[in-house]
Amino acid sequence: MPMSTGVYYSEIANNPNRLWDLVRMGNFDRQWSAPTAMWPGGYPFSYFWNQDLQAVEYSPNINPTKQLSSDSNYATMIYTSRIDSLWQATLGMHSYTIGPIWLNADGTPDPNGTNRYELYYEAGFPTNLGVWVTFRAIQYTQPWNNMNDFILIGVTFKNYGLLDVKADGHPTSTTNKINALALAWHSGDIGSLMISTAGGRGASTWGYARMSGYIADNDPNGNPWDTQVSYPGVNPANYPSYPGPNSSVPAGKRDMGINISIYNYYTDIWIGKTWLGAKQDTLGLYSDPNASTIFGTDPVGIGSERGWYTSSETGVGGLENELDASSIYTIATGEWYQDGGKSGDASKLNLAPNSNFFQSGTPGDVLSFVPKASPAKPDGDLKSQTGALTNVWENGWTKGYTATTNFDGDSFIGNGPYSLNVGQAVTIVGAEYAGFRMGGLLNSLQAARYAWEHGGVPAGPAAPDMKASITV
């Protein structure tokens, strides 16, 4: 649900001091009437407490009143009805939504659901940073080869220059340049929130380790998987110190893959998310020209460098504060710093430019960071921390990290930063996917990458008409 459509239970519509989620994915109310992750992770339990997209810009003194920020150099991108009215009066543009609707394989509407090739949703809305946001989500329906086990999302940011950070309807600039914009996607891992048959919140049971992590091992093509994952861990009652260093759980005491501990539901469903790329346009097609970060890199990394230029970490250790733009920005761009979350401790943050990649720069000022002539992998985020991976009992996972959460920090992936002159746009493309254990998850990730790279999936036969009747 984009902010232009509605706000979730902790936010207050049209109050700039109580708005931060650009897009909320599920649990808009306290009754969890909408699950927070796709099938098979969304029934009969909600895997995440929350899922959110937040966009933050770094620009010197862009936010002098420090609205939703501890630092005047950071500003959170938000929508209000006053912003909508300003854009309508000034540019003739206002917020809209399309769908969700069925589409055919050629992209035309399928209003009667004859083929049901894909389910499509779109929303567009203006923001206080002078940027028009278009959010798109696609899920395919073909029930084979994991082709319906993922959702593709695209977030387009187009700069119109109409800056109104306070969102009061009084712009301070009509030619504002976006200097360094970053996008964060975060999820609150819980694994065991029941969804009742009436569609609301049921039992809340936290009996198993709420695990997240990052898989950095290579795929069959020799390139990093580059995926953040969330999965049900070991029952801490059987092994209280899990997942400590060099941990091992006695045979027969692992109880792995279980959600809803009071019922011992065995699902072993793993859910993942990743950035697929970013394009210099308003559509985000794979064939379109790649965007570049402000440091001149690919948005994600190509081939063996896949994942180098994105962030993956958790908000544990005091790193996360949704109401502080500087906090979210640091997590979303953590790889570019000397320690942008790698230590998992806010007191150890070091926002100097990462010495692997940069030759100079002022700490905290990404606009001053100067890349080396031959830079190496930036390693300031948690995914690059050595020794952060504990025993997961899954073949093929030897690089990356694992982490537990207890309502003390979400799992994050971040992308950026990007600069946008007036009239320029960038579309960031990501995917959410799920599967049985790690193998199923990685199969779904491969399917998601295939779909984006090929502009869709092979179309199947039309959806059958079915009728159930009692014959006895």
The string of pLDDT tens digits covering residues 188-230 is 887 767 777 666 777 666 667 778 899 999 999 999 999 999 9
Residue 3 falls inside a structural domain: no
**Given this model, what pLDDT does residue 171 score?**
96
Residue 466 falls inside a structural domain: no
The closest of 182, 133, 175, 179 to 154, measured between CA atoms, is 133
Structural tokens at position 80: 């209000």
Residue 154 falls inside a structural domain: yes
Split into its structural domains, the chain has a count of 1
- Taking residue 433's Cβ as centre, other Cβ atoms within 10 Å add up to 28
**Given this model, what pLDDT does residue 240 score?**
57
Mean of all residue pLDDT scores within the chain: 89
**Given this model, what pLDDT does residue 203 score?**
66
**Given this model, what pLDDT does residue 254 score?**
66
**Given this model, what pLDDT does residue 392 score?**
73
Residue 470 falls inside a structural domain: no
Low-confidence ranges of the chain (pLDDT < 50): none
Task: Give residue 280's identity as a one-letter amino acid code.
Answer: Q
pLDDT digits (tens, 9 = 90+) for 59-104: 999 999 999 999 999 999 999 999 999 999 999 999 999 999 999 9
- Taking residue 163's Cβ as centre, other Cβ atoms within 10 Å add up to 23
pLDDT digits (tens, 9 = 90+) for 381-426: 999 887 777 767 788 999 999 888 777 778 999 999 999 999 999 9
**Given this model, what pLDDT does residue 428 score?**
98
Task: Give residue 448's identity as a one-letter amino acid code.
Answer: A
- Taking residue 245's Cβ as centre, other Cβ atoms within 10 Å add up to 8
**Given this model, what pLDDT does residue 242 score?**
55
Omega before 109 cis (within 30°)?
A: no
Residue 127 falls inside a structural domain: yes
Look up the domain containing 267 and give its range. 16-454
Residue 263 falls inside a structural domain: yes
Residue 463 falls inside a structural domain: no
Residue 467 falls inside a structural domain: no
Quote the longest CA-to-CA distance of the chain.
80
